[in-house]
Amino acid sequence: MATVLDRKSIIEGLRDLIGELRDAGEAAGIRLVGGAALALRYFDRGTTQDLDSLHIQPGTDDAVSAAAARVASRRGWDPAWLNFAVEQADAIPTFGRREVEWEPIYDDEGIVIQVAAKEAMLAMKLRANRPGRDTNDIRQLLRLCDIESLDQAEELYEDFYPGDALTDRAVSMVNAILAAGLPERVSPPGPIDL
């Protein structure tokens, strides 16, 4: 059963997750990437089906997963709404010349939630480069990162994924986006009240 999560439901789910972790006396660090991170911090992007998540210390994946399962059960959401599979997908740049920076969106009483910085988000979206699904995200991120040429996009990508080059599909996507013109700079979405 697919869950459709807009920004409001993402915030409500995270708020519930924080409550569950607190009630269980758990500390946790969670890092978000993908569509949910974009919707929370950078721009209105419609919906996503899950929150691509990485676990960081403190706490355990089991405790966070159990708390997320309780939230899913109560809300009638897919049990995998908080998705840790991104860690196994080789999507997160770990050996780049440039480290992923993380921006906190919540930090209180041992529970920390962070989102990846926009530059790392662009590199990850360029790596995925799924037509239709990633096109608008890449378009918006190119604007937010002030990337105005294919060369600049390739340089940023290689900073995070050294030795890799953009795929032909990613090159075509970036060229098409640049040829159509980048969007106006968007204002970040409203406050994140967790």
pLDDT of residue 58: 86
What is the total count of domains within the chain?
Answer: 2
* Residue 192 confidence (pLDDT) above 90: yes
Do 82 and 18 sit in the same domain of this protein?
yes
Do 91 and 152 sit in the same domain of this protein?
no
Q: What is the pLDDT of residues 38-52, one digit of tens each?
A: 999 999 888 999 999
Range of the domain at 112: 7-117
What's the pTM value of the predicted model, to 2 decimals? Answer: 0.93
The DSSP secondary structure of 114-125, one letter per residue, reads EEE-HHHHHHHH
Do 138 and 94 sit in the same domain of this protein?
no
Asked if residue 84 belongs to a domain, the reply is yes
Asked if residue 101 belongs to a domain, the reply is yes
Do 88 and 129 sit in the same domain of this protein?
no
Q: What is the pLDDT of residues 108-146, one digit of tens each?
A: 999 999 999 999 999 999 999 999 889 999 999 999 999
Asked if residue 153 belongs to a domain, the reply is yes
* Residue 1 confidence (pLDDT) above 80: no
Q: What is the pLDDT of residues 170-182, one digit of tens each?
A: 999 999 999 999 9
pLDDT of residue 124: 95
* Residue 89 confidence (pLDDT) above 60: no
Do 90 and 126 sit in the same domain of this protein?
no
pLDDT of residue 90: 65
Average pLDDT over every residue of 65-91: 89
Do 128 and 109 sit in the same domain of this protein?
no
* Residue 3 confidence (pLDDT) above 90: no
